[in-house]
Structure 1
């Protein structure tokens, strides 16, 4: 990835992923501690959710900046409505 492709949202996405990384390291430690399956499942859920949220943020950013610019050269009201609908449906990815 080149430096030119860094978006404003990327640092926030990296923060989310670092949180997920921290949760994952903690889960691995918890296995070694013999923690309950419920505790492990809860922490794995937190890891999964953090990664999913990072992916959504990246997709939404891509739609806002890359796809819109490529398709239209700039957002119009109709385009914004289509983009909003796409963002809403992408939550189910």
Structure 2
């Protein structure tokens, strides 16, 4: 994977990590379930976007050098979309 994509994924995961920490604090402070649910949605979206970026980059790399084994690898990883 290209370094710029690693950087993008790491940024997204760090954002999710920050949201997750704030959710734990919110729960400890007794914040409303609506507020907590909103933050949980944000964490889920950040992780989904990181996963999508990872899978799309992998697909693009596979297609650049596609051979039979790479096609199978592409099929295997696409189930995570």
**Over 2 Å off, 4+ runs:** 5-8
CA shift for structure 1 position 70? 3.1
RMSD: 1.8
In structure 2, the residue matched to 1:17 is: 13
In structure 2, the residue matched to 1:87 is: none
Larger radius of gyration: 1
In 1, Cα distance between equivalents of 2:7 and 2:57: 12
In 1, Cα distance between equivalents of 2:4 and 2:22: 29
In 1, Cα distance between equivalents of 2:63 and 2:4: 16
In 2, Cα distance between equivalents of 1:13 and 1:33: 30
Bigger RCO of structures 1 and 2 (CA < 8 A, at least 6 apart): 2
Q: In the comparison of the two structures, how many residue pairs are matched?
A: 70
Pairing of 1:70-81 with structure 2 (within 5 A): 70-71=65-66
